[in-house]
Structure 1
Amino acid sequence: MPDLDLLVFFVYLLAIVGFGVSFSFKKRSSSDFTTGGGRLPAWAIGMSIFATFVSSISFLALPGNAYSGNWNGFVFSLSIPLAAWIAVRYFVPLYRKLGSESAYYYLEERFGTWARIYASACYLLTQLARMGAILYLLALAAQALLGWSIPTIILITGISVIVYSMFGGIEAVVWTDAVQGIVLIGGALACLGVIFWEIPGGSSEVFRIAEESEKFSLGSFELDFTTSTFWMILVYGLFINLQNFGIDQSYVQRYLTAKTEQEAKKSTWLGSLLYVPVSFIFFMIGTALFGFYQAQPELLPKGIAGDKVFPHFIVNQLPVGITGLLIASIFAAGMSTISTSVNSSATVILSDHFKKYIHPKPSEKTSLLVLRLASLGMGILSILVGFAFNGVESALDSWWALASIFSGGILGLFLLGLLSKTQKPQALIAVILGVLVIAWMSLSTVWVKNGFPETFANPLHTNMTIVMGTLTIFVVGFGLGIFIQKRNIKIKSFQDLNRW
């Protein structure tokens, strides 16, 4: 690779790590580490929310998805405004009033300790899957540039993010995210411009080839949830995005870094609405790449497909210097999300586990030590998960499936707490049934392969796991709550009658 590209890439990487670490030189408390003392500006928080959403899963997997298929995956983005509105209307005010840095403190207040443990454990598993997928996708891009092995790149990237996440805290995460958000938007636009400029026949050729191949299709509009239809992706997106903006520690923590509730709401709108047009650009890149290589098939070697097409284009077709910028953009997308996950996971470990079971009132020094050790531990585990992702056919599909499983339907438990009078026993029964549904939907394919009858298989699409798990918990819990409430009213009425 040209020296200029390598220089751009390494200067960017060192600058971001150095910028993040610089926040560690301030006098810090555990509150500074987790919420930035509640003094960060709304625009920076909004850019951080956006950059967290736009991971390398978006930067590489969305173009790969559009290249291999169509725009069915873009339907996911269309659900974001509604999810953001619900979050701004109900969740942001709730968390601002609770006075806890943990998103799962509310569940303990509502249903007891078990609910907080369950939700926080599901969150940590989800973050490990997410960080692993992102590290793997980063390695795909960097391998084409550097020629190093994927495990080596995963290791180096993981260590780089761990360093500034450990020492800089949430301020380092938010401000580096803000910078990285700007870089990745610029990189995506530059790449799309180059494709349109270099394809023989110009941009009109891209649209002609794409229309002939039905690349702009949003999927079937049949009301079918067994395959990847428009409605299936829309429902899945609504549930996932409600979980993101409503109960995900990564987002909730940012609501607490704002100066006021109004500022927190502004940052949520900025971060969520900015993602929709940017995801449009990513899908357009994938479609444009399809047209580019259909018009010039000799430029694409055999064996390059899916998630690997965009990295191949970046390294082999972009002008010198722009390649380094695009690789830096991909790393910007990935590093911002990983650093967020590391910081928020450390906060969950301190607040929901260490303070709860080991040391209820630790000193500031102890709290900071736990936060940094937890950051290190989660970072190391994410590197191992990244190794496990090496070789998957589609990182996007794998991530979506794991997100559905590990979420554990905790959105259903939150909704149960907010929208019903259901108490602890009924909620516990609902969660147990929800987990059983999730286990069946996730594992039935494996069981059928091992001798179980076909009728035992899950008929729905894998992405519907989170939907059915959430609905099971909410509907069962809500129903039991009403049943118990009516029974208690009848018992009380009977007792009053006897007393009379």
Structure 2
Amino acid sequence: MVGTGGPVATFSVWDYVVFAGIILVAAGIGLFQAIRGRKETSSAEFLLGGRQMTAVPVAMSLTASFMSGITVIGTPAEAYRFGTAFWIFGISYSIMSAVTAEIFVPLFYRLGITSAYEYLEMRFSRPIRVIGTSMYIVQTALYTGLVIYAPALALNQITGLDLWGVLVATGVVCIVYCTLGGLKAVIWTDVLQMVVMLAGFVAVIARGAVLQGGLTNIFQDAREGGRLETFDFDPDPLKRHTFWTIVVGGSVMWVSIYSINQSQVQRYISCKTLGHAKMSLYVNMVGLWVTVSLAMLSGLTMYSIYKNCDPLTNGDIGTPDQLLPYLVMDILAVYPGIPGLFVAAAYSGTLSTVSSSINALVAVTMEDFIVPFWKNLPQKQISWMNMGLSVFFGALCIGMAGVASMMGSVLQAALSIFGMISGPLLGLYLLGMLFRTTNSVGGLVGMIIGLVLTLWVGIGGQIYPPTAEKTNPLPLSTEGCITNQTFTTTIPVTSQPDVSVRPPLADTWYSLSYVYFSLLGTLTTIVSGLLVSIITGGCKQEKLNSNLFVRKNDLICFSCFSKHKVADITEKAATDFDMGVDNAAFTETDVMSKVSEKVTKL
């Protein structure tokens, strides 16, 4: 009986067919792109899709990359356990999209970069670029391994799918279409995966609504269970989720992910015009709204079904991440193939993130470590190196999944460290983009201070987790359970620190909301970087390239209403009139021809 506890069904033959079919279609898209573009073997074609992508597929790819397998199964569990405060992240997505589109995209776009970290060398120095790239490679390889392992473990223990078989298969599929099809394959498979993921959420919500007598009853149950108390305006920075932590801290966190993370930057600079690049972020914003809304609604549906019999408390599952897979097998197993669709949705999130990471890792390795030292490599050799690196990083990510399986409770700690690194890096970029006085010494010292501070508070928070008073878990019941099960987990047992005696910092500094980590790192880096730059004499260069700084006319509110003189057209035609022409690969002849067209029209 649904919602009363106990074991649930496992995969049927049709579930395996649907699951395998969707994964094979994803691989097929990669092969199609490889065959279609077999005559285009340039590095720009492989890494940036020839810089001719359009807004909508890039936007869907950006959204799909955000929706890792951890997000697909973790966000509904968040609504189930803590309520809908996570919904406020929709405001953060809006702020992030505007900041990224109007400040970062124009700057990266006009510089014609392939690696986001090229900017660090242009503005500061070669060593800072190498440090920034190295930090990205380490965090991305580790995070990608975790993205492969965490949902695989949750789904394995619910569906019975072989854990390591699926881990290896996931990596191999990504390697195939990343190696053969490049960025175009990644983006177009992301489009398919986005559709599949949203279909998975819709299937859960629709079936739940039928079982519970409509969405009205689901919302009524959620209201009675305290799940709809979304807005908490308490300014306490130690509380896990409040309006202020999510809007202020969450906005900075998402800006750091979308604005300077190579996986995201590589997509919007692949667009054929600046207008498409900006539009991709605004369409992506709508995609994020839809995604988080469906995920939250799935969580509320899950609560309505299990309000009287919590599977986690009852021992039917071992971790919160298994809640949604358990629900799927409980309510959808009567429809052969539908559980397979959901599992494919979760793995589509994994495939999307892994493929994005592999392609981005190849780009930064080529642009930051190989091309600068071997500038005259033949194009054919560069193409083979791109494909070879795709295979290498794909294998590395599978290997990191193996490392993740050994981590036990350190798994969440590693995910938190990934988020902590982005804050200081964002601070470094803002130092370079906004302040002409910042020098290399100030930038480097500021980033190190910011990184040390965020790692200190983050690791401390993992060792001494915040109390329930700060995390605010909502009550759950097992009164309606028919049976009690003893769940056996396969997560390796690791030694845990003795937290019975909490140090003085545990309930203050270490309890800082994780959403504020990026804000802390960003502000610390900016303040300390400026101070050190001033102490060390500021920027002593005679003249800095104005392209390295944010311009007023980059912002749409200025570019749309400013009046341009004919004398200014040569300099500004590519950015002010139609929000961009061909991407940074365009030639001087192309620019002058477009300028002539503008002058003629005037």
What amino acid maps onto 1:12 in structure 2? I
8 A contact 1:132–1:385 mirrored in 2: yes
8 A contact 1:219–1:229 mirrored in 2: no
The residue aligned with 2:518 is: 466
The residue aligned with 1:440 is: 456
Structure 2 residue corresponding to 1:315, chosen from 308, 318, 329: 329
Q: Does 1:192 align with 2:205?
A: yes
The residue aligned with 1:324 is: 340
8 A contact 2:257–2:422 mirrored in 1: no
Structure 2 residue corresponding to 1:302, chosen from 291, 315, 326: 315
Q: Does 1:14 align with 2:32?
A: no
Alignment of 1:226-375 (within 5 A): 226-230=238-242, 231-294=244-307, 302-304=315-317, 305-318=319-332, 319-357=335-373, 359-375=374-390
Distance 2:154 2:180 in 1: 27
Distance 2:539 2:443 in 1: 17
1:428-485 alpha-carbon deviations (Å, 9 max, x no partner): 2212322322332234468996999935663423443322222111111123344556
Instruction: Tell me the SS of whatever aligns to 2:371.
Output: helix
Structure 1 pair 12–219 and aligned structure 2 pair: CA distance change class (3 A): same
Q: Does 1:477 align with 2:493?
A: no
8 A contact 2:152–2:166 mirrored in 1: yes
Structure 1 pair 392–68 and aligned structure 2 pair: CA distance change class (3 A): farther
8 A contact 2:87–2:293 mirrored in 1: yes
Distance 1:437 1:116 in 2: 21
The residue aligned with 2:170 is: 157
Structure 1 pair 299–340 and aligned structure 2 pair: CA distance change class (3 A): closer
Structure 1 residue corresponding to 2:503, chosen from 447, 451, 454: 454
The residue aligned with 1:492 is: none
Structure 1 pair 203–216 and aligned structure 2 pair: CA distance change class (3 A): same
The residue aligned with 2:395 is: 380
The residue aligned with 2:563 is: none
Instruction: Tell me the SS of whatever aligns to 1:356.
Output: coil
1:312-339 alpha-carbon deviations (Å, 9 max, x no partner): 1222321222222222222222211211
Structure 2 residue corresponding to 1:49, chosen from 62, 71, 74: 62
1:5-33 alpha-carbon deviations (Å, 9 max, x no partner): 21111111111112212222312221111
Q: Does 1:83 align with 2:100?
A: no
Instruction: Tell me the SS of whatever aligns to 1:407.
Output: helix
Distance 1:393 1:63 in 2: 21
Instruction: Tell me the SS of whatever aligns to 2:73.
Output: helix
Instruction: Tell me the SS of whatever aligns to 1:79.
Output: helix
Structure 1 pair 443–48 and aligned structure 2 pair: CA distance change class (3 A): closer
Distance 1:339 1:272 in 2: 21
Distance 1:145 1:22 in 2: 34
8 A contact 2:423–2:517 mirrored in 1: no
Distance 2:461 2:49 in 1: 45
* Identical-residue share of aligned pairs (%): 27
Alignment of 1:67-82 (within 5 A): 67-82=80-95
Return 5+ residue gaps in structure 2 as ranges. Answer: 1-10, 465-496, 541-602
The residue aligned with 1:413 is: 428
- The alignment's TM-score, normalised by the length of structure 2, stands at 0.75
Return 5+ residue gaps in structure 1 as ranges. Answer: 489-500
8 A contact 2:312–2:323 mirrored in 1: no
The residue aligned with 1:498 is: none
Distance 1:176 1:394 in 2: 32
What amino acid maps onto 1:343 in structure 2? N
Instruction: Tell me the SS of whatever aligns to 1:198.
Output: helix
8 A contact 2:19–2:340 mirrored in 1: yes
Structure 1 pair 151–117 and aligned structure 2 pair: CA distance change class (3 A): same
Instruction: Tell me the SS of whatever aligns to 1:229.
Output: coil
The residue aligned with 2:575 is: none
Q: How many residues align?
A: 485
The alpha-carbon deviation at position 244 of structure 1 amounts to 2.1
Structure 1 pair 486–253 and aligned structure 2 pair: CA distance change class (3 A): closer
Q: Does 1:122 align with 2:135?
A: yes
Instruction: Tell which deviates more after alignment, 51-60 or 227-236.
Output: 227-236
8 A contact 2:88–2:246 mirrored in 1: yes
What amino acid maps onto 1:437 in structure 2? L
Structure 1 pair 478–315 and aligned structure 2 pair: CA distance change class (3 A): same
8 A contact 1:126–1:407 mirrored in 2: no
What amino acid maps onto 1:190 in structure 2? A
Instruction: Tell which deviates more after alignment, 237-246 or 288-297.
Output: 288-297
What amino acid maps onto 2:80 in structure 1? Y
Structure 1 pair 218–295 and aligned structure 2 pair: CA distance change class (3 A): same
8 A contact 1:111–1:424 mirrored in 2: yes
1:102-159 alpha-carbon deviations (Å, 9 max, x no partner): 1111111111012211221222223223312321243146425752342332222122
The residue aligned with 2:146 is: 133
8 A contact 1:140–1:311 mirrored in 2: no
8 A contact 1:222–1:229 mirrored in 2: no
The residue aligned with 1:493 is: none
Whose Rg is larger? 2
What amino acid maps onto 2:283 in structure 1? L
Q: Does 1:211 align with 2:227?
A: no
Instruction: Tell me the SS of whatever aligns to 1:280.
Output: helix
Instruction: Tell me the SS of whatever aligns to 2:397.
Output: helix
What amino acid maps onto 1:401 in structure 2? S
Structure 1 pair 212–389 and aligned structure 2 pair: CA distance change class (3 A): farther
Instruction: Tell me the SS of whatever aligns to 1:232.
Output: helix
What amino acid maps onto 1:387 in structure 2? G
The alpha-carbon deviation at position 414 of structure 1 amounts to 0.3
8 A contact 1:5–1:323 mirrored in 2: yes
Instruction: Tell me the SS of whatever aligns to 2:269.
Output: helix
